[in-house]
Amino acid sequence: DQQVKQNSPSLSVQEGRISILNCDYTNSMFDYFLWYKKYPAEGPTFLISISSIKDKNEDGRFTVFLNKSAKHLSLHIVPSQPGDSAVYFCAARGIGGSNYKLTFGKGTLLTVNP
Amino acid sequence: EPEVTQTPSHQVTQMGQEVILRCVPISNHLYFYWYRQILGQKVEFLVSFYNNEISEKSEIFDDRFSVERPDGSNFTLKIRSTKLEDSAMYFCASSASLTDTQYFGPGTRLTVL
């Protein structure tokens, strides 16, 4: 049951360049999407989110883009820094009733090289 | 900055024993969650809790699992008759409202031998 898919298990970029992490989803009932960052031995840390009524949300170096027709979202980090090296999880949430649980992707390990 | 805390950080138990994992959610939050991540797999939803009741639970959350808010600050996950396959990282999360962002604790690593 892969309702949220992150097809790239890992990504390596140079410091200062752009990192683009991708996420696809299959459930059209999802209407809110989040990105979490996770360091080893820590819990997921909220990074940025986007509602399905928007196609872009920006917070500092982080921008999330949503293409609802393609059921695809991406996280852009510009410029990438070595401290950004972590596992990034895409998560999705539905609306109404009891559908507020988060459904996570498998994560993408980002390595930013100095 | 307020944060979710969890204890212990690592729990080792024998198969068949009972364990209690503890969480202190962010103080003004009303919605509480447990998730787990088996090594190498996705983070999976277990249960949500609001107003002293379970709001939603997954198929993983069978009758060996229970949750409780014994006082105004703690939120616990109890697993009875533990199995080897319960070994995982267990994350507690909380949110101020149903639609607000869920904030996660650092996790408890449960090892069932």
pLDDT in tens, B68-112: 998 878 999 999 999 999 999 999 999 998 888 999 999 999 999
Instruction: Enter the tokens of residue A43.
Output: 């819990």
Of B33, B42, B101, the CB nearest to A104: B42
Gap between the Cα atoms of A23 and A78, Å rounded: 18
pLDDT of B41 > 70? The answer is yes
Instruction: Please report, rounded to a whole number, the percentage of residues in chain B having pLDDT higher than 70.
Output: 100
Amino acid A96: pLDDT: 61
Q: Is B82 exposed, middle or buried (0-12, 13-18, 19+ CB in 10 A)?
A: buried
Amino acid A22: pLDDT: 98
Instruction: Please report, rounded to a whole number, the percentage of residues in chain A having pLDDT higher than 90.
Output: 84
Chain B contact for A39, CB < 8 A? Answer: no
pLDDT of A64 > 70? The answer is yes
Amino acid B40: pLDDT: 86
Judging contacts by C-beta atoms under 8 Å, the chain B residues touching residue A101 are: 33, 45, 48, 56, 58
pLDDT of A2 > 80? The answer is no
Gap between the Cα atoms of A87 and B30, Å rounded: 28
A102 neighbors A34 (Cβ within 8 angstroms): yes
Average pLDDT, chain A: 93
For residue B50, give the 3-state DSSP assignment: strand
Q: In the A/B pair of chains, how many CB contacts fall below 8 A?
A: 51
Amino acid A40: pLDDT: 86
Chain B contact for A3, CB < 8 A? Answer: no
Phi/psi of residue A6, nearest 5 degrees: -120, 105
Residue of chain A nearest B95, judged by CA positions = A100
Asked if A45 and B104 come within 8 Å (Cβ–Cβ), the reply is: yes
pLDDT bracket for residue A99 (50, 70, 90): low
Asked if B45 and A105 come within 8 Å (Cβ–Cβ), the reply is: no
d(CA A103, nearest CA chain B) in Å = 7
